[in-house]
Amino acid sequence: MASNHWRKYFGIESYKYDWYFKRFFYKYLGIKLPKLKDQHQYWEDRGQVYMNEILRSGYLEYERFFQDLLVKELTELQFESAFEAGCGFGWNVKRVKEEFPEVRVGGLDFSSTQLKNSELYLKGMNAEIRQGDICKMPFDNGHFDVGFSLGVFMNIHAGRIRKALLELTRVSKKFVIHLEYDESNTTNDLRERRAFKTNIVSHDYKSLYESLGFKVKKFCTFKDFGEQYRIHAERTSKNVERWEGLEGPGKYIMIVVEVNQRF
């Protein structure tokens, strides 16, 4: 049975009312509501419908651009295993396994509903998927060569982000790759569009990793890959059934960290 979070009132999903309410407070009253300190329940609810919603929307045809950036980066690294922190229903895990069939793959997510959908999406694929919190991962030290995330650590509250990064580096033996939101390296338009959202948190990943003593191997922003994104979007003919619309290349930075190279 669907959660109350997804009930409709007058034909409109309840979460959209929540979005309009927060946007009104920010746009007309200049009020930003506090960021969510914990998103377990949010994704437990949303995870019930997320896979079907995202697969049928056409949205992933555009998101594949960021997935391609990850795959391209992985081709330049030496690794035998990789896992995704915040794997959801397994879209990225499946792509990595398809691109690197000899590599051991895995994933972690705290949402039981997302993981239930991953059983269907990853059916027949050998992937080590676990349920757990990013700040306390159920993996041994250096269990995977590479740990990566796409749009997941932007859901972690500022008070927990350093702990989450340290856990990811503990589990990852060689490299960490993030494609995440950094409001200091995005467009003015997207910064405004996301400012009122309580589930999206910006982090300065480069400064955070350097403060933790890790070497940043690569750091790219929309200024580096924006033209590539434009070409990709023009070649993508699929219409997007997404009520908020597309957010463009400014939604993520890409950072590659050498876990085994500390200052």
Distances (CA, A) of 9 to 5, 6, 57: 11, 10, 22
Is the pLDDT score of 249 beyond 80?
A: yes
Tens-place pLDDT, residues 187-201? 999 999 999 999 999
Task: Name the pTM for this structure.
Answer: 0.92
Summary mean pLDDT of the chain: 91
152: amino acid identity, one letter:
V
Q: What is the mean pLDDT of residues 181-191?
A: 97
Residue 100: exposure state from Cβ atoms within 10 A (0-12, 13-18, ≥19): middle
Planar angle of CA 250, 230, 69, nearest 5 degrees: 65
- Over residues 105-121, the mean pLDDT reads 97
Who has greater pLDDT, 13 or 210?
210
Give the separation between CA 103 and CA 11, rounded to whole angstroms.
46
Going along the chain from its start, the domains and CATH numbers come out as 34-262 (3.40.50.150)
Q: Please, which residues have CB within 8 angstroms of residue 120's CB and are 6 or more apart in sequence?
A: 51, 89
Quick one: what percent of the chain has pLDDT higher than 90?
A: 76
Average pLDDT for residues 167-195, to the nearest whole number? Answer: 97
Q: Is the pLDDT of residue 3 over 50?
A: no
Separation of alpha carbons 78 and 67, rounded Å: 18
Report, as an integer, the average pLDDT of 215-224. Answer: 98
Q: Supply the pLDDT for residue 45.
A: 85
Residue of 58 and 129 predicted with greater confidence: 129
Q: Residue 14 pLDDT > 90, yes or no?
A: no
Residues in a beta bridge with 128: 106
203, pLDDT greater than 50: yes
Predicted confidence (pLDDT) per residue in 35-92, tens digit: 999 998 888 888 888 898 888 888 899 999 999 999 999 999 999 999 999 999 999 9
pLDDT at 15 over 70: no
